[in-house]
């Protein structure tokens, strides 16, 4: 075998797997379809579409991908480090409901089982409570005070090196084994790529250390086939087919590995496995593609009309409000100059049909023409705007299928279909708009089609007691196959209701703990 393990994707699950397997003596290859990005390579603003967006057909090879389905629009990350390059650094631990619901609930006492792994993940990711609050956070604090929830307001735990602002120092996390870091300058550019070397992306911790242990990382390549060798259950290993992902003329090659870990995120892993289930991996559970969750999110922008405020200052998400036992509200910011979202927004309205919503949009323009003129043409959008991220643990699920064109499509599986018009969020949006003297807008697709957006698509290969209940077992092993694992957002088996990256990291750490060291296997 050329490798002991090949890991498909370099996000949170893949990065953890790469480090822990290499520490245990295994020969590891990580295949990532996105590019290597250094601090100087990130776009200065999101107007640089070529470096910000991943649209290969237009030769855009940036760090963020937009994918549209019938029931949800998904924002995801690409590049070495996966979603960590574009995510908002926020690392909350979910409430108890997460551990006690969904297909995995009866497999373990997950809250206690995962507790030490959450702490390990927080340490590895360099989590620190945000030390400063800025205008957008103060607006959320005002909402908390107005609603009598000031004790439910808090600064976020984030994967950022604060240190001395703009001062570069030797690795502060791994006894000098990590790269140099620079103190955060609160520019708000976390989600377009940190050019200040302050964000603790996975290439600066897990992947950096994995390379020191011998892991090989191949960027700008993607896996398109995984075929068992000799034995149908993969006992004798797998042949993995790989092709280039950014070149006009595709090069292909095949490598062999004892085991494979799928870590391409929901959009990568589920799409690939749905294809392979019809060919080389037919024994994958029929549950594949089911139990897709959107974290019950809404994303609504509020643009302040106050001249003396700067809502771009701070980290991407600097504060959080637990609005009730099932819901959370966070304020999200972009750096000054990142105004590209502006023209994709319409007035935020909540009508039940497209016709009623369009009528309300027109009424909004007629009622406040000067305010909307300022938002679209005069004000710096990012400097005056925050995005309110509302999340719930309440559950509803989708199913992803493979259509006749080889693409994924969505259907409603259980519960109500996702909606951008969640009753609890509407009240909070109004309160925040009052607090900052702002006008609310939302992504045009939500207004026109009633389709919500999410940055946290989860599930599709959930845990279960057997193949009729899940795709993987409690140790992330794929039912029906040996040495085949799924370790990414696809494995999340209930709705966390908060940013899920920390949970993915913690579950990945536990999964790797279940795999013995190489010398134990062969002795």
Distance CA 419, CA 279 (A): 35
| Domain assignment present for 283 | yes
pLDDT of the residue at 522: 59
Distance CA 153, CA 268 (A): 35
Distance CA 74, CA 79 (A): 17
279 and 26 in contact (C-beta within 8 Å)? no
What does the buried/exposed string (b/e) look like for 116-129 if buried means 16 or more CB atoms within 10 Å of the residue's CB?
ebbebbbebbbbbe
85 and 159 in contact (C-beta within 8 Å)? no
Instruction: Tell whether 327 and 473 lie within a shared domain.
Output: no
80 and 10 in contact (C-beta within 8 Å)? yes
For residues 165-184, average pLDDT: 96
Instruction: Tell whether 179 and 167 lie within a shared domain.
Output: yes
pLDDT of the residue at 125: 97
Indicate if the pLDDT at residue 82 is higher than 90.
yes
Indicate if the pLDDT at residue 498 is higher than 60.
yes
Indicate if the pLDDT at residue 523 is higher than 80.
no
| Domain assignment present for 204 | no
| Domain assignment present for 495 | yes
pLDDT of the residue at 454: 87
Instruction: Tell whether 378 and 318 lie within a shared domain.
Output: yes
Indicate if the pLDDT at residue 37 is higher than 60.
yes
Range of the domain at 245: 1-36+79-126+216-293+457-523
Instruction: Tell whether 484 and 432 lie within a shared domain.
Output: no
Nearest Cα to 191, choosing from 222, 159, 165, 216?
159
pLDDT of the residue at 359: 92
Which residues have a Cβ under 8 Å from the Cβ of 203 and sit 6 or more positions away?
A: 36, 80, 81, 84
Instruction: Tell whether 342 and 352 lie within a shared domain.
Output: yes
217 and 207 in contact (C-beta within 8 Å)? yes
pLDDT of the residue at 214: 96
For residues 399-420, average pLDDT: 83
pLDDT of the residue at 313: 96
Instruction: Tell whether 329 and 382 lie within a shared domain.
Output: yes
Instruction: Tell whether 449 and 462 lie within a shared domain.
Output: no
Percentage of the chain beyond pLDDT 90 is: 78
Would strands 216-218 and 28-31 be described as parallel, antiparallel, or unpaired? parallel
Question: Looking at 405, 429, 453, which one is the last position of a domain?
Answer: 453
Distance CA 370, CA 29 (A): 56
Nearest Cα to 440, choosing from 430, 449, 448?
430
Q: What is the reported pTM?
A: 0.95
* CA angle, residues 232, 238, 240, in degrees to nearest 5: 130
**Measuring CA to CA, how many Å separate 521 from each of 19, 27, 196, 283?**
18, 14, 43, 26
| Domain assignment present for 427 | yes
Instruction: Tell whether 225 and 101 lie within a shared domain.
Output: yes
Question: Looking at 432, 453, 474, which one is the last position of a domain?
Answer: 453
Nearest Cα to 193, choosing from 90, 58, 81, 298?
81
pLDDT of the residue at 413: 79
For residues 152-169, average pLDDT: 96
| Tally of domains within the chain | 2
Candidates 71, 221, 328, 456; catalytic one: 456
Distance CA 91, CA 83 (A): 13
Give the DSSP H or E segment for 252: strand 252-262
pLDDT of the residue at 394: 65
Instruction: Tell whether 98 and 231 lie within a shared domain.
Output: yes
| Domain assignment present for 57 | no
Token couple for 326 = 């099932």
Distance CA 298, CA 296 (A): 7
| Domain assignment present for 205 | no
pLDDT of the residue at 497: 86
**Measuring CA to CA, how many Å separate 98 from each of 326, 407, 413, 417?**
10, 30, 19, 20
First to last CA, the chain: 18
H-type alpha helices, 64-156: 96-100, 110-124, 135-146
pLDDT of the residue at 412: 86
Distance CA 52, CA 55 (A): 10
Nearest Cα to 289, choosing from 403, 120, 383?
403
pLDDT of the residue at 445: 84
Place of tokens 């030490």: 116
Provide the CATH number for the domain around residue 119.
Answer: 3.50.50.60
pLDDT of the residue at 296: 79
CA–centroid distance for 127 within its chain? 17
Indicate if the pLDDT at residue 1 is higher than 70.
no
387 and 344 in contact (C-beta within 8 Å)? no
Question: Looking at 437, 453, 469, which one is the last position of a domain?
Answer: 453
Instruction: Tell whether 423 and 476 lie within a shared domain.
Output: no
| Domain assignment present for 65 | no
Distance CA 13, CA 18 (A): 9
For residues 174-188, average pLDDT: 96
Distance CA 136, CA 472 (A): 41
Indicate if the pLDDT at residue 416 is higher than 90.
no
300 and 424 in contact (C-beta within 8 Å)? no
| Domain assignment present for 55 | no
Distance CA 356, CA 89 (A): 37
Assign 3-class secondary structure to 379-423: CCHHHHEEEEEEEECCCCEEEEEECCCCCEEEEEEECCCCCCCCH
Instruction: Tell whether 9 and 97 lie within a shared domain.
Output: yes
208 as an active site residue: the answer is no
Would strands 28-31 and 54-55 be described as parallel, antiparallel, or unpaired? unpaired
Instruction: Tell whether 194 and 247 lie within a shared domain.
Output: no
Distance CA 475, CA 482 (A): 12
Nearest Cα to 461, choosing from 172, 267, 314?
267
Each residue of 277-335: pLDDT tens digit?
Answer: 999 999 999 999 999 998 778 889 999 998 889 999 999 999 999 988 888 899 999 99
């Amino acid at each position: 075998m050329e490798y002991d393990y090949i890991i498909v994707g370099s996000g949170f699950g893949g990065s953890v797997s790469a480090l822990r397997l290499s520490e245990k003596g295994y020969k590891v290859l990580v295949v990532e379809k996105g590019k290597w990005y250094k601090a100087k390579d990130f776009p200065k603003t999101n107007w640089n579409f070529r470096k910000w967006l991943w649209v290969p057909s237009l030769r855009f090879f940036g760090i963020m991908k937009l994918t549209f389905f019938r029931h949800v629009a998904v924002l995801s990350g690409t590049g070495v480090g996966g979603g960590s390059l574009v995510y908002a650094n926020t690392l909350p631990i979910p409430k108890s409901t997460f551990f006690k619901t969904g297909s995995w609930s009866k497999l373990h006492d997950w809250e206690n089982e995962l507790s030490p792994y959450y702490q390990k993940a927080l340490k590895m990711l360099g989590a620190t409570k945000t030390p400063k609050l800025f205008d957008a956070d103060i607006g959320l604090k005002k909402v908390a005070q107005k609603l009598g929830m000031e004790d439910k307001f808090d600064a976020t735990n984030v994967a950022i090196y604060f240190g001395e602002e703009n001062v570069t120092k030797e690795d502060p996390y791994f006894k000098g084994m990590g790269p140099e870091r620079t103190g955060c300058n609160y520019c708000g550019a976390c989600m377009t790529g940190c050019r200040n070397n302050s964000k603790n992306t996975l290439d600066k911790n897990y992947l950096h250390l994995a390379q020191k242990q011998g892991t090989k990382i191949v960027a700008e390549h993607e896996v398109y086939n995984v075929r068992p060798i000799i034995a149908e259950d993969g006992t004798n290993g797998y042949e993995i087919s790989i092709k280039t992902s950014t070149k006009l003329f595709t090069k292909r090659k095949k490598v062999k590995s004892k085991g494979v870990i799928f870590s391409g995120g929901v959009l990568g892993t589920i799409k690939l496995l749905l294809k392979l289930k019809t060919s080389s991996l037919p024994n994958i559970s029929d549950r594949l593609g089911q139990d897709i969750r959107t974290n019950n999110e809404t994303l609504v922008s509020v643009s302040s009309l106050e001249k003396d405020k700067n809502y771009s200052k701070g980290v991407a998400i600097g504060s959080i409000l637990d609005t009730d036992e099932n819901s959370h509200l966070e304020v999200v910011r972009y750096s000054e100059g990142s105004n590209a979202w502006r023209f994709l927004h319409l007035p935020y309205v909540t009508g039940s049909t497209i016709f009623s919503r369009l009528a309300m949009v027109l009424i909004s323009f007629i009622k406040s023409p000067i305010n909307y003129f300022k938002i679209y043409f005069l004000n710096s959008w990012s400097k005056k705007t925050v995005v309110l991220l509302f999340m719930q643990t309440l559950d509803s699920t989708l199913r992803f299928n493979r259509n006749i064109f080889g693409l994924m499509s969505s259907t409603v599986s259980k519960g109500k279909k996702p909606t951008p018009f969640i009753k609890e969020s509407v009240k909070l949006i109004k309160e925040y708009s009052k607090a900052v003297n702002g006008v609310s807008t939302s992504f045009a697709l939500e207004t026109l089609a009633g389709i919500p957006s999410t940055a946290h698509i989860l599930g599709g290969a959930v845990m279960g007691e057997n193949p009729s209940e899940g795709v993987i077992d409690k140790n992330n092993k794929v039912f029906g196959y040996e040495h085949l694992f799924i370790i990414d957002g696809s494995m999340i088996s209930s709705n966390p209701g908060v940013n899920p990256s920390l949970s993915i990291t913690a579950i990945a750490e536990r999964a790797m703990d279940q795999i013995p060291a190489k010398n134990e296997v062969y002795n």
